[in-house]
């Protein structure tokens, strides 16, 4: 396990918040949208248990695209990698040491960690395959939470924000099903009371999407130039019962498969 002082290409840091600066690439969208992220993006215990299980017995872990530090196992030695200073500043006291760097260019020697984890982040990486190669270079096991085109269409994107659907269709392919990768893929159904406020988390709590704080924690909304049309339609459909009529089949479900997948590469 490298100590922070062994980080390659360290340039400078901000000692007041305890992070080290590695090599940076593109400007970070989360510097703009990440303020307040910690309020709505807390780890869901069911997803956390699945991630812990996937990490197996690994004692040294690098958390790439760590955001505000969600899902880091408390009983392992963890180093977090996050390009956005806004996100790093939201870390609770006592979190893992952080390196400000990109997944594209991890500032660690080969095989520094027993495992690497990347939770809901690879869709932000400018070159997914390069980031995956970096994860595999620095660790023995890669644990990735991402998603593939959903078996269950999500009403928020089909009925109100088709731009999100269109964008996600372009960037999400089931790359991890390539046989040569020999990946293990586990379905992560989304519970109706999911604690972590990502895109599909509120599938049975539609009012939540009307809350600007909730939308702020979901990067898909940041890409929509004018969200008012979709929001006013949702408001109207909730008020006159249209939403409930259309989605009656969801209301008694406890969890739904919206395409979220936990992948292990060894």
Ligand X SMILES: C[S@@+](CC[C@H](N)C(=O)[O-])C[C@H]1O[C@@H](n2cnc3c(N)ncnc32)[C@H](O)[C@@H]1O
Residues engaged in binding ligand X (CB under 6 A)? 28, 30, 41, 64-67, 70-71, 82-84, 87, 102-104, 119-121, 124-125, 219
Closest CA to 135 of 58, 81, 78, 174: 81
Which of 28, 142 has the CB closer to ligand X?
28
Helices (H), 125-241: 128-138, 155, 162-171, 212-216, 219-222, 228-239
Which of 73, 83 has the CB closer to ligand X?
83
Q: Give the separation between CA 47 and CA 50, rounded to whole angstroms.
A: 5
Is the CB of residue 57 less than 8 Å from the CB of residue 33? no
Which of 125, 176 has the CB closer to ligand X?
125
Burial 188-221 (b: 16+ CB within 10 A, else e): bbbbbebbbbbbbbbbbebeebeeeebbbbbbbb
Which of 52, 238 has the CB closer to ligand X?
52
Pairing of strands 260-265, 139-147: antiparallel
> Residue 256 CA to chain centroid, in angstroms?
18
Q: How near is the Cβ of 159 to ligand X at its closest, in Å?
A: 23
Q: Give the separation between CA 145 and CA 226, rounded to whole angstroms.
A: 29
Which of 69, 237 has the CB closer to ligand X?
69
Q: How near is the Cβ of 189 to ligand X at its closest, in Å?
A: 17
Q: How near is the Cβ of 218 to ligand X at its closest, in Å?
A: 8
Is the CB of residue 175 less than 8 Å from the CB of residue 128? yes
Q: How near is the Cβ of 129 to ligand X at its closest, in Å?
A: 13
Which of 107, 230 has the CB closer to ligand X?
107
Closest CA to 181 of 114, 123, 262, 265: 265
Which of 43, 140 has the CB closer to ligand X?
43
157: which 2 tokens?
């994107």
Residue of closest CB approach to ligand X: 67
192: which 2 tokens?
């109706």
Q: How near is the Cβ of 135 to ligand X at its closest, in Å?
A: 10
What DSSP state is assigned to residue 97? P
Q: How near is the Cβ of 27 to ligand X at its closest, in Å?
A: 10
Q: How near is the Cβ of 248 to ligand X at its closest, in Å?
A: 31
């Amino acid at each position: 396990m490298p100590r922070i002082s062994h980080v390659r290409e360290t340039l400078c840091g901000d000692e007041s918040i305890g992070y080290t600066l590695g090599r940076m690439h593109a400007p970070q969208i989360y510097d703009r949208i990440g303020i307040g992220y910690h309020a709505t993006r807390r780890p869901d215990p069911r997803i956390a248990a699945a991630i812990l299980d996937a990490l197996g017995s690994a004692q040294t872990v690098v958390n790439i695209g760590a955001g505000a530090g969600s899902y880091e196992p408390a009983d392992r030695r963890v180093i977090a990698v996050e390009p956005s200073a806004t996100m790093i500043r939201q870390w609770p006291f006592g979190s893992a040491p952080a390196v400000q760097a990109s997944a594209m260019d991890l500032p660690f020697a080969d095989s520094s960690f027993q495992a690497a984890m990347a939770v809901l982040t690879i869709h932000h990486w400018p070159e997914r395959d390069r980031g995956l190669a970096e994860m595999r270079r620095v660790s023995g096991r890669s644990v990735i939470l991402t998603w593939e085109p959903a078996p269950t269409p999500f009403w928020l994107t089909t009925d109100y924000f088709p731009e999100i659907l269109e964008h996600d269709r372009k960037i999400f392919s089931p790359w991890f099903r390539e046989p040569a990768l020999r990946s293990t893929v586990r379905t992560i159904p989304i519970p109706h009371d999911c604690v972590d406020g990502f895109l599909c988390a509120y599938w049975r709590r539609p009012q939540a999407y009307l809350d600007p704080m909730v939308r702020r924690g979901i990067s898909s909304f940041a890409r929509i130039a004018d969200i008012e049309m979709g929001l006013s339609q949702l408001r109207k459909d909730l008020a006159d019962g249209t939403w409930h009529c259309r989605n009656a089949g969801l209301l008694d479900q406890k969890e739904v498969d919206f395409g979220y997948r936990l992948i292990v590469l060894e």
